[in-house]
Structure formats: structure tokens, C-alpha cells
């Protein structure tokens, strides 16, 4: 008896397993399975990958700054600071960072220059190889004076070998090895160019350091904690606006913030795919519920209790979820490895551990998809009446709006919140998503109705197809929206890549500057001026440049991100200090600053492409100090005419009133400045100049040959900048394309799930049409055209959406006049029609292959 | 075995009451085979669903093996069905995702019978499907599916077997074979058989026929033979027929 009882208590378990086994084998659960796998794999790979990147970058936190503390500034440090560090027995190293040209024969390359002292680095390891064939790297400090270490790409781009000479500024230096690991690597080098490391003793020989040069001085300190802290207490009050004092944690926080933002952006973008996967689960589980309704009724009619059925289906669903989640994790792990492999040359993730976070987030997402989006159909299923076995089975109409929609909406909100960590943003995205979907739906419905009217005049197949499309309009809504968005993004990327940038480049007049010359010393201006005049080279003249910081507005100090960083690193401050600080901040009501050092200049005449919109430009004779500010920045910083702005240049500080506000055409590619002063303010400071030249292809060799005489001048080729921009766009495109694949996959799943849900209805219709004598080709074509029309409508809406987005980009970002891209409309409509038609036909293939007899027997 | 007293069934359609069953009384003895005949919409299937405990009457009493089904909730009625009732439906109603054998085993498993598999295999052999036990319903013909349903109906040794138009979806030859099978097993297992049909030939094979019309019950062949074992009946009342004079058509009241 007890055995029987025990058997009874586990019978639901056995039956549940049996059901799962058969359903999986028959492919009935494939859509739900793939949808959950897709959601879990996406979340896992994304979270895991970004987590590993973050870890790899910030893990060895003391290594990332090459010291315990760093003092960063734009001018040389006061000797007293170094002396103080020595009295505290701190280790000390120095690093100078700048951008400069590296020359080898006729080749030149813009590179990131690191000049380091012999003690560098104090923490972490600088690793080099002295030959390309050497397998293991060796740990080193600074290269010997007269030599440099370069990143491998310098060799190929300058066509040089180890042992050969390159010129940095005016100094010839021998390449002694290649750098494989820099502890405090500047991630700017990704954008600026490959790094060249030289000994700081060689820096004067290069003659690159000129007044106004864009140079970063870093002073590195390390030592006993106590000594470091006492040094910190001593130095902090002396730090001014143009200097930054930070530890590894602050650097790490800064980097983490950037990575977090990138991660958030990618996660939210992939939310579209995850939401679609969840919708696929919802659609498929509704069909699942309807398909299983007879089974539950039969179970109950045969005597199964509600609890038996509930347990059976809950386990069935739970097992399916677990299986899908596990498969999703494995797939996600595979994707993550692929990602790690793809970036291996930039960053090795081999040592980065995998935390629990991606596992938990992915599992939670999977559960949310499996439960929240399926709970209503499963609950309804369990409630199926046994009486249905007698009365027959009818598909219960689900109310469009009701409580049953609450769990999916809550789940969506929760998913958005997990990825954005921002309540307001999650709400806004949810509402925004609903509004955008609604607008797309409205248009989609309109187009489907229009299609229906047109269809009556088209052939029989089209007539049937468009009538069906309109009748299933509400079922088709989700895939319409998803395909529209996917196609739109695809078109946008294509148009951006192939069209907008080239259109933007082409719109400039011929004499638009295409080269920027930086770091021009005062004695070089004369020969350069003579050269451009003799050779008729269009140029914008020479602008003196000074590097400075806006430190106060009307006497109120400005706050920018660097200050926030120092706040972070000050976390160890005592409570009383903190209170005092916050009191001080409140009293001062600090104002928003620029957050970076600015290029400042003086002019006697108002520059071209500038227009005064408030106040007046100064007279040449007017020696009263004053500044003219660019209008957008004035608006952002809430600066008005007459406001006093305080600037810090190195260790000097001065305050000037705003006497005019200028509108600047930033799109002109001319040299433009946010702050322009009159001569009397800046002329006493040492300076270098910059210039912008328009060099034609014929003149290029002549100009480059001439400029080779001035190796300290950094030449930035606009074409190279555009190539850099294109390569950044290329990289962003890869990330967006991955997300697009996800969206297209999830959208296809929704389409297939929707087709499956309508399968019985389609069978009945086809059977009726067959009975009435419809030809096989008519039926096939009507099904094909239905999906083709759906895809074409999505493509059309996507094209319109793309055109609007492109117009906004053209008018707002690139300041161009709008243009149509009709050739891409054809691509959008064609691709939509082809892809949706293909997926639709594949989903209906089994149905279309049934013989008339089978079809009629199955449904009649 | 099975008795109903003053049973009625009506449903509310919007604000009107639709009477499906007029007050009726009926007693079915153990081992008896009874056919409920009548035109479509006469209430046969409604009566069957109440007799089998799938539905509840609006008023009146229903006893199955002395158990007052009209007082039971869904769960209790499930239990009664699991222990005492078997079904054969016109649409076969097999679970498509289970094999023939698993379909047959289902009632035995629900009734906690220990040898479900062996019994299932034996029954499938009896109905001539020994070589199809691992096949899915979609791989079987209509006749074969109904044979699986018959095996499923008998596996838990039900006291009462309810068959709702069991040959309705089959051609006459297969239908005949199925009928023979049902009656053979009925005799062999000593099961009470309640058959709903509008096939007069099929009804004639039952010991008794009752006719339904417009929700009311009549027994044209009142001489129907009874195996009158009273032990299962709630009271000693003999078969009661509804007064034909009081019979009205299914009407809307109120």
C-alpha cells in the first residue's frame, strides 16, 4: 500500500518528464527553448564580457597608474614638491606624455609619445622584447638615452626594423625594442596612434616642448602607506585647477565609469532583442496553452486532480526553463570566448575571472522570460475544464487589456532596470518603447488596410494574401514592429557608413583646410608664412595657442569631472572633513565647468565663420582685458555678458569680463575657439601657434618635403582623422551588428511562433480553399505573398524611419542640407520582403506540402 | 450503480435561462448496458457529462456507486472518475504527445494501479495493436486511435464506461469492429456501459434504450431487461420515467 502511495505521489513527476521528453523530441518546444536560450546567452555574454574587460583593465589596480599616487599637470612641477617627497623617502618617477610625429625616411606617423625617467614604473611592470622573434618579454624601466621602444605597429607603419633610426622632433633615436606591456597605458593611444617610449633625458633634444604645447606631465610617487598619506595631506591643499592628484582607485573609477556607460548602452540596445525573445516566449506559450488544453481536459476527465495537473505542468515548464537557461549559459559562454578572442590583440582576458554576476543576471533574465511571459497561459491551461472533452475545445479569447498583462510589463520594467540601474530611465524607456511601437503599429495598420484595398484589384493570390494580412493585423503587430526596427537600424548603419560621411566630406569648398599644424614656434612662423604665400596654399593664418582652464565664473569655482574623481579618492577623509567640505560646497554653490583644459587664443579681428550675437567685438586699440565666448558654451555654463571668468594658465590666474558672445560655425573645419581674448590678456604668456592649411594632392609632396624641415611641428592630416573616425564607426558597427543579429533572430522567432499559433486556422482555411477547388500554386502564392507583403511594409516603414533619422543626423550633427536615399528604400523593402517571406514560407512549408486529402481529413 | 433523481440542468445565457435538462429520474444497474438516444441538441451529452461527474446538475441528485456527485467539488469528482469511470469519445481524445501505450496507461497511473504498463500492453494486444504500442496517435488511423481509446477506457477496470458516439468518426466497417470490441470487453470485464448515440442499430445492442428529446427523458422500450442488483442504489426506487405529458421543449424561461 505504501508503495502504491509513494508511486501515486511521484506519478505526476514521471508523467511530467515523459511529457517533456516527447514534446522536446517532437520539436513542440523549440521556439520557447530558442527564445530563452537567446535571451540568456545575450545577457550572459554581454555581462560576462564587459565584466571581464573591466576586470582586466582595472584588476591590478596599483599597476594601472604605475605608482601609488600620481600628480598630473600641464606644466612642470615646482621643485619643492619633489624635494618634499624625497624627505619622506618616497620613490619618484616622471613621465611626459604628448602627441608627436615620428619620421623614418619619407614616412611619418602621428604617435603617442611617452618620455619616462629611469625609475619608471614604480608599480607594475613595463615589458619589452628586444627582437621580434623573442618569445618572452623582459621587464624593463626606461630605454637608454638615445634609444626608443615602440609598439609593434610603428615598425610596420614607418617601414623600419629594430636597430634602425627614427626621428622624434629633431632628435634621431635608435629603435631598441618593442613594447608589449605598459602598466599605466593611456587608452588615448587607441585613438591617437601607437606609443613610442623614450628616455626623459632625450626630451629636450626633440625640441617638442614649446610654450603652449599640449603636454601632460605626470609625477609618480610610491612608498610606505604612512609616508604616502602624509605626503598627500601636505600636497593636497596646493593642488590647483589645472592639476590632478589621484590614486589607482580614482583612475579605476574613472575608467569603470566609461566602461559602465558603454556596457549600459550595449545592454539597453540588446534589450530590444531580449524583449522580442520574451515576446516570442509569450506567443509560443499562448499556443502551448491552447495546444495542451485538450490534454489537461483529458487528464482531468480521466480523474487527475487539479494539483496533479498543476504539479505536472509546473515541473514540465520548470524543466524546460532550466534546460533552456543551461543551454543559454553554454551558448553565452561560447560567445564570450569568441569576443575575448576578437579583442585578444588589444587586451588579454585570459586572467580575468568570471564572477557570479553574469550567471545570476542571465539566469534571472531567463527565469523572468520563462515565468512572467508564460504564467498567464499556463495558469489558464491548468484551469481547463474536464467538461471540454464533451463540449469540445474552443480557443478562449484573451482580453486585450487586463491583469494578465501586469507580470510581463513588470518583468520588462525589471529587465530595463537591471540593465540601466536607473529607475527614471527604465520608466522612460518602457513608456518610450510603448509609444514608438504604437506609432509604428498605427502606420502598419494603415498600410495593411491600404494593401487590402489594393489587393482586391490585384490577382487572386495577392487578394487572398492581403486579406489574410489585414485579418491577422493584430497578431502581426509584434513582428511588424520588430522587423521595422531591425531593418531601420540596418539601413541607418549602411547609409551612415557608405553615404553620410562621404557626402559630408564632399560638401566642403575646395579650399577647406585638410591639414592642421600644431606646435609651431614663433621663429617658425615666418618661414612657414613665406612658404604658403609663395606656393599659394590656402590657409587660415596662425593662431597663438595657450592651454588653460576655466577655473571660476563670477568668483564661484567651477566643478568638473576631475574634481569628482578627487572626491572619490578622498573617500578616506575623516567625517568631520567631509562635513566641512559639503558645507563649503553648499555655500559656494559651485558652478559647472568645462571639465577639461581649453585651447585659448587672442585675436584682434573677429575670425571668419564667427558672428557676434551679443555684445561687441573689441577695438584693436582697446587694451582693457576681455574675452569673447562661444554661444553654445555660454548657454551651457549660463554665462552672460559682463560675467567675470577666471582662467588658470600653469600657475598663473587671471580674471576677465565677457564682452561678446559669438556664434561659431563648427562644421567649417576652420580653426575655431571657444574662448578668444584680446591681445593684452595673453601676450605676456609664452606660446606656440597652430594653423590650418588646405593642401591639394599635387602640392602634397612639396608641402610634406618642406615640413620635414620642421620636425617639431605636429601635422594632422584630416584624411587620417576621417580614416580614424571611419575605423571607430567600423568598430561601433560591429557591436551594433551583433545586436542587430540578435534582434533579427528574436524577431524571426516571434514570426515563427505567430505562424505556428495560426497554424490550425491556416489549415482550416487551406482545406476550405482546396475543397472549393483552389490550385496548389494559388495557395502557395497566397501564403508567400502574405509574408512578402508583411516584410515589404516593415521595410517601407523602416526606410521612412531611416530617412527621418538620417535627416536629423544631417541637419543637427553634420549641419548639411538633407538628401533622400531612395536606393536604400529599395534595399529595405526588398530585404524585408525577402527575409520575412522566406521565414514565413519555411514556417508554413509543412502545411503547404500536405496533400489535399490529408488537409481536408485533418480539419473537417 | 448509477442513479439520478429530479435532475435538472439550465444555463444562464446573458439575462435568460436556457433549460438543457427537464427534471428527470433514471437508475442504471451494475453491469447494465444502456443507450441514450435522441436527436442532436436533445440533451444526451449534457446528461452523460453529469452522470460521469464532469459537470454538476442545477438541481437534483446524482449518485455513482452510492457517492453523491452533486455534493462533490471538482477534486472529489476527479477522484471518483479516477476510481470508477472510463470514457470513450467520438473524437478519440488521445494525448498527441504520448505514445499509444502511454495513453493507455494514463488512467491506471492516475488510479495508482501498480502494473499499469503490463496491463496497458495486454489491453493493446487484446485490441489488436500489439505492434503499435510505441506509435503516436498521429501515426495511427482513426480506427486504431479509437482502439487505443478503448484500451485506455478499460485499463483501470472502471465500474462504469461512458461512450459518447464512439463510432461517429469511423466508417461503418471499422465502426462495427469497434462496437464489437466495446461490447466484448464490457461483457468480459462486467462493466456498466452508458452509451450515447443516435445510431439506432448501435443502441439496439444495449440492454436498454432511453430516448431524450428537448431535454426530457423517455424510455420507449420500457421492457428493457435489467440486471437488478439494488445494492448500489441510494434508494429502492425502480427506474422512473419522466412524465411525457409534462415534457416541454427546451425553452427560455425568465
Contact B32, B207 (CB under 8 A): yes
Higher-confidence position of A339 and A595: A339
Closest-CA distance of chain B to residue A24, Å: 10
HEC-encoded secondary structure of chain B = CEEEEEEEEEEEECCEEEEEEEEEEEEECCCCEEEEECCCCCCHHHHHHHHCCCCCCCEEEEEECCEEHHHCCHHHHHHHHHHHEEEEECCCCCCCCCCHHHHHHHHHHHCCCCCHHHHHHHHHHHCCCHHHCCCCHHHCCHHHHHHHHHHHHHHCCCCEEEEECCCCCCCHHHHHHHHHHHHHHHHHHCCEEEEECCCHHHHHCCCEEEEEECCEEECCCCCCCCCCCHHHCCCCCCCCCCCHHHCCCCCEEC
The CA-based dihedral angle spanning residues A364, A370, A375, A378, taken in that order and rounded to the nearest 10 degrees? -150
State the pLDDT at residue A255: 65
Q: Which of A236-245, B113-122, B220-229 has the highest mean pLDDT?
A: B113-122
Res A791 pLDDT > 50: yes
Res A436 pLDDT > 60: yes
Res A826 pLDDT > 80: yes
State the pLDDT at residue A172: 92
Helix (H) or strand (E) holding A714: strand A714-717
pLDDT band at A565 (very low <50, low <70, confident <90, very high): very low
Q: Is A27 strand, coil or helix?
A: coil
State the pLDDT at residue A37: 92
Instruction: List all residues 6 or more positions away from A836 whose beta carbon is below 8 Å from its beta carbon.
Output: A479, A483, A751, A787, A788, A790, A791, A794
Of A366-375, A740-749, A844-853, B218-227, the one with minimum mean pLDDT is B218-227
Distance, in Å, from the CA atom of A786 to the CA atom of A207, rounded to the nearest integer, reads 72
Distance, in Å, from the CA atom of B250 to the CA atom of A224, rounded to the nearest integer, reads 100
Res A78 pLDDT > 80: yes
Helix (H) or strand (E) holding A521: none
Q: Residue A662: name the closest of A705, A687, A629 by CA.
A: A629
State the pLDDT at residue B236: 35
Q: Residue A366: name the closest of A409, A414, A325 by CA.
A: A325
Average the pLDDT over B165-171 and give the result.
78
Q: Count other Cβ atoms within 10 Å, centred on residue A97.
A: 21
State the pLDDT at residue A290: 83
Res A63 pLDDT > 80: no
Q: What is the DSSP letter of A346?
A: T
DSSP letters for A426-473: HHHHHHHHHHHHHHHHHHHHHHHHHHHHHHTTS-HHHHHHHHHHHHTH
Q: Count other Cβ atoms within 10 Å, centred on residue A276.
A: 29
Distance, in Å, from the CA atom of A855 to the CA atom of A828, rounded to the nearest integer, reads 36
State the pLDDT at residue A821: 83
Query: Which single residue is written with the C-alpha cell 513527476?
Result: A13
Over pLDDT 90: what percentage of chain B? Answer: 17
State the pLDDT at residue A164: 92
Show which residues on chain B lie within 8 Å of chain A, measured between beta carbons.
45, 48-49, 52, 54-55, 74-75, 78-83, 85, 87, 89, 91, 93-99, 102, 106-107, 109-112, 114, 136, 152, 164
State the pLDDT at residue B245: 30
Residue pairs spanning A and B at CB distance below 8 A: 92
Distance, in Å, from the CA atom of A483 to the CA atom of A793, rounded to the nearest integer, reads 10
Res A160 pLDDT > 80: yes
Residues of A in contact with B98 (CB under 8 A): 18-19, 22
CA dist A164 → A107, A175, B33, B215 (Å): 14, 6, 108, 108
Higher-confidence position of A670 and A164: A164
Tell me: the pLDDT tens digits for A578-609? 444 444 444 456 777 776 778 889 988 888 87
State the pLDDT at residue A241: 65
State the pLDDT at residue A4: 45
pLDDT band at A540 (very low <50, low <70, confident <90, very high): confident
Handedness of CA A187, A192, A198, A204 (dihedral sign): negative
Distance, in Å, from the CA atom of B126 to the CA atom of B119, rounded to the nearest integer, reads 10
In B, minimum Cα distance to A858 occurs at B138
Instruction: List all residues 6 or more positions away from A177 whose beta carbon is below 8 Å from its beta carbon.
Output: A128, A129, A130, A131, A140, A143, A149, A162
Q: Residue B76: name the closest of B89, B87, B62 by CA.
A: B62
Of A120-134, A141-155, A343-357, A813-827, the one with minimum mean pLDDT is A343-357
User: What nine digits make up the cell of A280?
Assistant: 516570442
Tell me: the pLDDT tens digits for A662-710? 988 776 777 888 899 998 888 888 888 888 888 888 888 888 888 878 8
Residues of B in contact with A301 (CB under 8 A): 52, 54, 81, 87, 93
Tell me: the pLDDT tens digits for A247-273? 877 776 666 666 676 666 667 667 777
In A, minimum Cα distance to B108 occurs at A302
Helix (H) or strand (E) holding A541: strand A538-553
Q: Residue A532: name the closest of A669, A668, A694, A672 by CA.
A: A694
State the pLDDT at residue A814: 66
Question: Contact A300/B78, CB-based, under 8 Å?
Answer: yes
Cβ-based burial of B206 (10 A; exposed 0-12, middle 13-18, buried ≥19): buried
Res B241 pLDDT > 60: no
Over pLDDT 70: what percentage of chain A? Answer: 83
Distance, in Å, from the CA atom of A71 to the CA atom of A77, rounded to the nearest integer, reads 9
HEC-encoded secondary structure of A128-170 = EECCCCCCCCEEECCCCCCEEEECHHHHHHHCCCCCCEEEECC
- CA A677, distance to chain mean position in Å, is 37
Question: Contact B114/A19, CB-based, under 8 Å?
Answer: no
Of A376-390, A478-492, A809-823, the one with minimum mean pLDDT is A809-823
Average pLDDT value for chain B: 80
Average the pLDDT over A107-121 and give the result.
88
Average the pLDDT over A426-433 and give the result.
79
Contact B193, B163 (CB under 8 A): yes
State the pLDDT at residue A144: 93
Distance, in Å, from the CA atom of A769 to the CA atom of A777, rounded to the nearest integer, reads 12
Rg of chain B over Cα atoms, rounded to whole angstroms, equals 18
Tell me: the pLDDT tens digits for A374-385? 888 888 888 888
State the pLDDT at residue B219: 64
Helix (H) or strand (E) holding A584: helix A575-588
Q: Identify which of B75, B97, B111 has the shortest CB distance to residue A28.
A: B97
Question: Contact B54/A389, CB-based, under 8 Å?
Answer: yes
Instruction: List all residues 6 or more positions away from A612 whose beta carbon is below 8 Å from its beta carbon.
Output: A606, A628, A660, A661, A662
Residues of B in contact with A298 (CB under 8 A): 93-95, 106
Of A432-436, A627-631, B116-120, the one with minimum mean pLDDT is A432-436
Give the domains, in start order, of chain B with CATH numbers: 2-97+158-219 (3.40.50.300)
Residues of B in contact with A391 (CB under 8 A): 45, 49
Strand partners, A547: A599
**Strand B16-28 vs strand B2-13: parallel, antiparallel, or unpaired?**
antiparallel
Average the pLDDT over A206-234 and give the result.
87
Q: Residue B34: name the closest of B198, B209, B217 by CA.
A: B209
State the pLDDT at residue A52: 79
Question: Contact A390/B45, CB-based, under 8 Å?
Answer: yes
Average the pLDDT over A476-500 and give the result.
78
Contact B84, B160 (CB under 8 A): yes
Question: Contact A303/B111, CB-based, under 8 Å?
Answer: yes
Average pLDDT value for chain A: 80
Average the pLDDT over A776-801 and give the result.
88
Over pLDDT 70: what percentage of chain B? Answer: 86
Q: Residue A43: name the closest of A338, A363, A327 by CA.
A: A363
User: What nine digits make up the cell of A181?
Assistant: 606591456
Question: Contact A11/B55, CB-based, under 8 Å?
Answer: no
Higher-confidence position of A558 and A733: A558
Question: Contact B81/A301, CB-based, under 8 Å?
Answer: yes
pLDDT band at A199 (very low <50, low <70, confident <90, very high): very high
Strand partners, A550: A647
In B, minimum Cα distance to A8 occurs at B112
State the pLDDT at residue A57: 64
Tell me: the pLDDT tens digits for B174-214? 788 888 888 887 888 888 999 998 888 888 889 999 988 88
Question: Contact B79/A389, CB-based, under 8 Å?
Answer: no
Higher-confidence position of A433 and A21: A21
Helix (H) or strand (E) holding A338: helix A306-342
State the pLDDT at residue A736: 67
Contact A255, A58 (CB under 8 A): yes
Residues of A in contact with B74 (CB under 8 A): 306, 386
User: What nine digits make up the cell of A204?
Assistant: 629636450
Of A25-29, A92-96, A218-222, A359-363, the one with minimum mean pLDDT is A25-29
Average the pLDDT over A12-37 and give the result.
85
Average the pLDDT over A306-315 and give the result.
89
Question: Contact A387/B95, CB-based, under 8 Å?
Answer: no
Q: Which of A477-481, A856-860, B228-232 has the highest mean pLDDT?
A: A477-481
Instruction: List all residues 6 or more positions away from A350 whose beta carbon is below 8 Å from its beta carbon.
Output: A340
State the pLDDT at residue B100: 92
CA dist A337 → A44, A57, A334, A340 (Å): 11, 17, 5, 5
Q: Is A687 strand, coil or helix?
A: coil
User: How much helix, strand and coil, in percent to the nearest 5, is found in chain A?
Assistant: 60, 15, 25
Res A146 pLDDT > 90: yes
Over pLDDT 90: what percentage of chain A? Answer: 15
CA dist B111 → A72, A176, A391, A557, B85 (Å): 81, 86, 25, 83, 10
State the pLDDT at residue A268: 67
Distance, in Å, from the CA atom of A860 to the CA atom of A768, rounded to the nearest integer, reads 9
State the pLDDT at residue A560: 57
Res A333 pLDDT > 70: yes
- pTM reported for the whole predicted model: 0.66
Contact A325, A40 (CB under 8 A): yes
Residues of B in contact with A311 (CB under 8 A): none
Instruction: List all residues 6 or more positions away from B14 whose beta carbon is below 8 Å from its beta carbon.
Output: none
Average the pLDDT over A806-833 and give the result.
81
State the pLDDT at residue A532: 87
Q: What is the DSSP letter of A497?
A: I
State the pLDDT at residue A727: 67
State the pLDDT at residue B235: 39
DSSP letters for A202-215: GHHHHT---TT--E
Amino acid at each position: 500500500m505504501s508503495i502504491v502511495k509513494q508511486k501515486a505521489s511521484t506519478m505526476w513527476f514521471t508523467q511530467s518528464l515523459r511529457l517533456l521528453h516527447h514534446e522536446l523530441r517532437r520539436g513542440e518546444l523549440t521556439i520557447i527553448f530558442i527564445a530563452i536560450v537567446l535571451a540568456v546567452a545575450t545577457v550572459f555574454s554581454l555581462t560576462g564580457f564587459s565584466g571581464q574587460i573591466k576586470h582586466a583593465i582595472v584588476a591590478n589596480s596599483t599597476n594601472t597608474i604605475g605608482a601609488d599616487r600620481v600628480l598630473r599637470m600641464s606644466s612642470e612641477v615646482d621643485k619643492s614638491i619633489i624635494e618634499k617627497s624625497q624627505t619622506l623617502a618616497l620613490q619618484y618617477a616622471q613621465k611626459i606624455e604628448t602627441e608627436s610625429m615620428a619620421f623614418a625616411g619619407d614616412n611619418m606617423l602621428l604617435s603617442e609619445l611617452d618620455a619616462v625617467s629611469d625609475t619608471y614604473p614604480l608599480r607594475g611592470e613595463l615589458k619589452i622584447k628586444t627582437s621580434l622573434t623573442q618569445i618572452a618579454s623582459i621587464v624593463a624601466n626606461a630605454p637608454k638615452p638615445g634609444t626608443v621602444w615602440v609598439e609593434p605597429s610603428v615598425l610596420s607603419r614607418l617601414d623600419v626594423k629594430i636597430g634602425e633610426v627614427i626621428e622624434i622632433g629633431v632628435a634621431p633615436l635608435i629603435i631598441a625594442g618593442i613594447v608589449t606591456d605598459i602598466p599605466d597605458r593611456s587608452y588615448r593611444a587607441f585613438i591617437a596612434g601607437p606609443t613610442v617610449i623614450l628616455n626623459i633625458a632625450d626630451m629636450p633634444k626633440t625640441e617638442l616642448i614649446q610654450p603652449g604645447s599640449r603636454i601632460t606631465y605626470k609625477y609618480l610617487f610610491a612608498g610606505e602607506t604612512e609616508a604616502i598619506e602624509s605626503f598627500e595631506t601636505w600636497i593636497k591643499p596646493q593642488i590647483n585647477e589645472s592639476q590632478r592628484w589621484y590614486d589607482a582607485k580614482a583612475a579605476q573609477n574613472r575608467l569603470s565609469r566609461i566602461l559602465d556607460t558603454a556596457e549600459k548602452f550595449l545592454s539597453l540596445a540588446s534589450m530590444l532583442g531580449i524583449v522580442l525573445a520574451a515576446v516570442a516566449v509569450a506567443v509560443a506559450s499562448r499556443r502551448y496553452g491552447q495546444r495542451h488544453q485538450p490534454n489537461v481536459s483529458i487528464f482531468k476527465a480521466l480523474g487527475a486532480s487539479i494539483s496533479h495537473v498543476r504539479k505536472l505542468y509546473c515541473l514540465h515548464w520548470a524543466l524546460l526553463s532550466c534546460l533552456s537557461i543551461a543551454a543559454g549559459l553554454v551558448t553565452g559562454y561560447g560567445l564570450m570566448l569568441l569576443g575575448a578572442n576578437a579583442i585578444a590583440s588589444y587586451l588579454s582576458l585570459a586572467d580575468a575571472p568570471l564572477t557570479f554576476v553574469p550567471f545570476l543576471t542571465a539566469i534571472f533574465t531567463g527565469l523572468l522570460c520563462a515565468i512572467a511571459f508564460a504564467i498567464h497561459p499556463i495558469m489558464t491551461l491548468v484551469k481547463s475544464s474536464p467538461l471540454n472533452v464533451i463540449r469540445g475545445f474552443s480557443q478562449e479569447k484573451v482580453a486585450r487589456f487586463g491583469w494578465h498583462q501586469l507580470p510581463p510589463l513588470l518583468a520588462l520594467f525589471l529587465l530595463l532596470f537591471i540593465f540601466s540601474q536607473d529607475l527614471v530611465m527604465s520608466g522612460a524607456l518602457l513608456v518610450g518603447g510603448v509609444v514608438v511601437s504604437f506609432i509604428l503599429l498605427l502606420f502598419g495598420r494603415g498600410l495593411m488596410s491600404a494593401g487590402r484595398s489594393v489587393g482586391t484589384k490585384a490577382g487572386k493570390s495577392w487578394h487572398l494574401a492581403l486579406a489574410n494580412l489585414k485579418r491577422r493585423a493584430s497578431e502581426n503587430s509584434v513582428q511588424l514592429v520588430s522587423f521595422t526596427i531591425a531593418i531601420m537600424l540596418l539601413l541607418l548603419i549602411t547609409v551612415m557608413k557608405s553615404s553620410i560621411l562621404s557626402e559630408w566630406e564632399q560638401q566642403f569648398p575646395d579650399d577647406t583646410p585638410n591639414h592642421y599644424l600644431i606646435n609651431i614656434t614663433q621663429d617658425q612662423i615666418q618661414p612657414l608664412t613665406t612658404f604658403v604665400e609663395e606656393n599659394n596654399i590656402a590657409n587660415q593664418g596662425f593662431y597663438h595657442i595657450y592651454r588653460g582652464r576655466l577655473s571660476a565664473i563670477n568668483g564661484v569655482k567651477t566643478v568638473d569631472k576631475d574634481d569628482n574623481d578627487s572626491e572619490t579618492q578622498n573617500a578616506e577623509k575623516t567625517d568631520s572633513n567631509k562635513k566641512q567640505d559639503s558645507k563649503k560646497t553648499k555655500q559656494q554653490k559651485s558652478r559647472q565647468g568645462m571639465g577639461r583644459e581649453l585651447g585659448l587664443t587672442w585675436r584682434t579681428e573677429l575670425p571668419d565663420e564667427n558672428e557676434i550675437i551679443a555684445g561687441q567685438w573689441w577695438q584693436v586699440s582697446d587694451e582693457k582685458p576681455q574675452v569673447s565666448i562661444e554661444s553654445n558654451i555660454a548657454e551651457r555654463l549660463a554665462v552672460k555678458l559682463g560675467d567675470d571668468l577666471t582662467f588658470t594658465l600653469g600657475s598663473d590666474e587671471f580674471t576677465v569680463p565677457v564682452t561678446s558672445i559669438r556664434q561659431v560655425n563648427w562644421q567649417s573645419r576652420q580653426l575655431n575657439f571657444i574662448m578668444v581674448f584680446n591681445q593684452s590678456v595673453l601676450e605676456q604668456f609664452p606660446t606656440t601657434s597652430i594653423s590650418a592649411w588646405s593642401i591639394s594632392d599635387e602640392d602634397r609632396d612639396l608641402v610634406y618635403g618642406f615640413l620635414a624641415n620642421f620636425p617639431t611641428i605636429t601635422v594632422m592630416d584630416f584624411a587620417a582623422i576621417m580614416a580614424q573616425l571611419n575605423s571607430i564607426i567600423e568598430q561601433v558597427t560591429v557591436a551594433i551588428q551583433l545586436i542587430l543579429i540578435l534582434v533579427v533572430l528574436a524577431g524571426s522567432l516571434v514570426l515563427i511562433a505567430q505562424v505556428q499559433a495560426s497554424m490550425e486556422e491556416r489549415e482550416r482555411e487551406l482545406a476550405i480553399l482546396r475543397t472549393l477547388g483552389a490550385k496548389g500554386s494559388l495557395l502557395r502564392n497566397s501564403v508567400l505573398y502574405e509574408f512578402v507583403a508583411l516584410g515589404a511594409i516593415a521595410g517601407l516603414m523602416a526606410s521612412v524611419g531611416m530617412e527621418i533619422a538620417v535627416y536629423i543626423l544631417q541637419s543637427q550633427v553634420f549641419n548639411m542640407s538633407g538628401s533622400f536615399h531612395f536606393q536604400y528604400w529599395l534595399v529595405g523593402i526588398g530585404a524585408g520582403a525577402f527575409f520575412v517571406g522566406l521565414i514565413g514560407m519555411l514556417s508554413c512549408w509543412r502545411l503547404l506540402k500536405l496533400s489535399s486529402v490529408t488537409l481536408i481529413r485533418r480539419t473537417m | 450503480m448509477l442513479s439520478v433523481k429530479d435532475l435538472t440542468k439550465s444555463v444562464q445565457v446573458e439575462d435568460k435561462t436556457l433549460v438543457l435538462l427537464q427534471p428527470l429520474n433514471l437508475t442504471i444497474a451494475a453491469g447494465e448496458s444502456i443507450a441514450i438516444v435522441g436527436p442532436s441538441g436533445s440533451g444526451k451529452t449534457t446528461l452523460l457529462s453529469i452522470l460521469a461527474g464532469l459537470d454538476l446538475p442545477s438541481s437534483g441528485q446524482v449518485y455513482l456507486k452510492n457517492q453523491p456527485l452533486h455534493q462533490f467539488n471538482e477534486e472529489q469528482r476527479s477522484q471518483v472518475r479516477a476510481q470508477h469511470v472510463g470514457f470513450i469519445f467520438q473524437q478519440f481524445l488521445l494525448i498527441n504527445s504520448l505514445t499509444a501505450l502511454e495513453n493507455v496507461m494514463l488512467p491506471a497511473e492516475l488510479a495508482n494501479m501498480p502494473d499499469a504498463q503490463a496491463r496497458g500492453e495486454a489491453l493493446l494486444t487484446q485490441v489488436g495493436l500489439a505492434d503499435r504500442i510505441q506509435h503516436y496517435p498521429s501515426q495511427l488511423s482513426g480506427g486504431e486511435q479509437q482502439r487505443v481509446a478503448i484500451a485506455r477506457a478499460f485499463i483501470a477496470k472502471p465500474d462504469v464506461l461512458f461512450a459518447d458516439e464512439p463510432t461517429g468518426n469511423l466508417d461503418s466497417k471499422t465502426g462495427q469492429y469497434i462496437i464489437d470490441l466495446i461490447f466484448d470487453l464490457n461483457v468480459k470485464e462486467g462493466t456498466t456501459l452508458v452509451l450515447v448515440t443516435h445510431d439506432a442499430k448501435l443502441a439496439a445492442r444495449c440492454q436498454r434504450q432511453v430516448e431524450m428529446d428537448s431535454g426530457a427523458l423517455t424510455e420507449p422500450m420500457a421492457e428493457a431487461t435489467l440486471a437488478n442488483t439494488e445494492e448500489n442504489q441510494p434508494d429502492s426506487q425502480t427506474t422512473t420515467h419522466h412524465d411525457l405529458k409534462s415534457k416541454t421543449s427546451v425553452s427560455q424561461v425568465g
